[in-house]
Amino acid sequence: MSKRIYNFSAGPGTLPVDVLEQASRDIVNFQETGMGLIEMSHRSKEFMAVAAETENLLRELMEIPDNYKVLFLQGGASSQFFMIPMNLLGAGKKATHLNTGTWAKKAIKEAKLFGDIDVAYSSEEQKFNRVPTSDEYSVAADSEYLYMVSNNTIYGTQFSEFPETDKMLVCDMSSDILSRRIDVSKFGLIFAGAQKNMGPAGVTVVIIREDLLDRTPESVPTMLRYKTHADKDSMFNTPPCFAIYAVGEVLKWLKKQGGVAAMEEINKEKAGLLYSAIDGSDFYRGHAEKDSRSLMNIPFNLPTPELEAKFIAEAASLGFNGLKGHRSIGGCRASIYNAFPRQGVVDLVAFMAEFEKKNS
């Protein structure tokens, strides 16, 4: 087996080696059944047990209250941009959105197809380099909910604290779910694509308060109703079996690391190492304002685009993969999700120091 490189990709992101090795065995012969996991019926007792264990682990690790349903859906997190307003708004109703990045902006566009959308805050003119403090926006009194994105992968910003409001919170946690402790009871709905912190692409987790299942207008198609999937434990149609299995394996790994509280401390340390290297240099420049910095995605620039291209190329030759920034802002970006090893950050910081010395 070739030596593993450091995968700084923003998504799909790196996965624990233990999980990959276990999956490689189970994909051929799952639990000595004589067949691989990906060819097994989703209604078999073996896979039903996998799905149940995955849900139970997620409930345990996130301390999800009993009055919330956990759904494993398809269509990517982007499908939630329209499913949420379809199910929770209805004609003539209003929702408030915070525009803090590309994915927030896409959600606003979709939501406007279904209701009256009030954009209470936007940092687009500042190239989304910050998230707001609670005194920088107000939630319309007649809004059904406040929609936000907890972590913005492209611009490297993150809400360190969630809004305090008497309105229901709806949150896209695709890129920082399970990276820190949260109080699920503060949210009406949380969703996350798996491919950054939970597993491979193919499944989107939705955590929804049960009372919201009955708010869906009758005009919404069967497959796009949350209640359809809640009533059938995500088995209304064939679910993304392998992706659900892989999420379960990642959750087992996370539990072995000490759970979300332990992972939060590890993430703070990893990000701190990289931010210290950026802040201690005039050569590197972070994109996000300090109070809005993400623990998951760290975009930064060098003095010139030419140096950035050279940095990315030399880094890749040494096994640092995926450091090219998103095309919308350029530069470099290091994504250091839960499964990204601390040693990879240490080694990147050392390379950054050596590159600066050679190119200043």
- Catalytically active residues are 103, 172, 196
Distance, in Å, from the CA atom of 96 to the CA atom of 106, rounded to the nearest integer, reads: 14
78 is an annotated ligand-binding site residue: yes
**172 carries a ligand binding annotation:** yes
Q: Judge whether 183 is annotated as a binding position.
A: no
Sign of CA dihedral 244, 173, 92, 213: positive
195 labeled binding residue: yes
- Tell me the two tokens of residue 153: 């992968």
Amino acid at 48: M
Q: Is 140 annotated as a binding residue?
A: no
Looking at the chain, list the stretches that DSSP marks H as alpha helix, in order from N- to C-terminal side: 17-26, 45-62, 80-88, 102-111, 226-231, 241-256, 259-279, 305-317, 342-359
CB 82 within 8 A of CB 114: yes
Task: List C-alpha distances in Å: 174 to 178, 205, 256, 343.
Answer: 10, 9, 22, 24
**CA dist., res. 241 & res. 234, Å (int):** 11
**237 annotated as belonging to a binding site for a ligand:** yes
Q: Which two tokens stand for residue 101?
A: 């990045």
User: 258: Cβ–Cβ under 8 A, 6 or more apart, which residues?
Assistant: none
| Residue 43 is assigned to a ligand binding site | yes
Binding residue positions for pyridoxal 5'-phosphate = 77-78, 103, 153, 172, 195, 237-238
Binding residue positions for L-glutamate = 43
Binding residue positions = 43, 77-78, 103, 153, 172, 195, 237-238
